[in-house]
Structure 1
């Protein structure tokens, strides 16, 4: 499941100039809606909110806390993956591949 999410993140447009810590904070406080506004991408709304709804159904009241933590981790990981992809692209461009 994590590999599928990472593959999806690698295909999304890169959030240039975004900070991983800020993304985690926004995800924790505002959830998927805040991440969608921060990253300006509808997928960043759908994925964390979908996970939140599934956890809310399964875990009840604890699902709200779990959903906030998942959104924070998603926001942080989204920026880290985008930075890795940008670094890989820079290496490929500089090597002429």
Structure 2
């Protein structure tokens, strides 16, 4: 995966929470950031119903946050 240097962790967290994997893929300009958060969000949504959608949004937010933090 390309580095996320120069990106803001707070912005990545918010983008991940609101827009999920699609927003992260656009923010990081990397297709790999689309698939993992989106797959986890879909799996949690299917398995846990309504609460899974919120859990999926949190997973995407944390993915974006830690992606930036670990690249610095």
The answer to whether TM tops 0.5 is yes
* 1:71 has 2:60 as partner: yes
Unaligned runs of 5+ in 1: 1-11, 84-97
Q: Greater Rg, structure 1 or structure 2?
A: 1
Scaled by the length of structure 2, what TM-score is found?
Answer: 0.96
Structure 2 unaligned spans of 5+: none
Which ranges of 4 or more aligned residues in structure 1 deviate by more than 6 Å? Answer: none
Matched residue, 1:26: 15
TM-score by length of 1: 0.72
In 1, distance between residues paired with 2:39 and 2:11?
22
> Aligned residues, how many?
72
Q: Could you tell me which of 4, 11, 14 is aligned with 2:3? A: 14
What's the Cα RMSD here?
A: 0.7
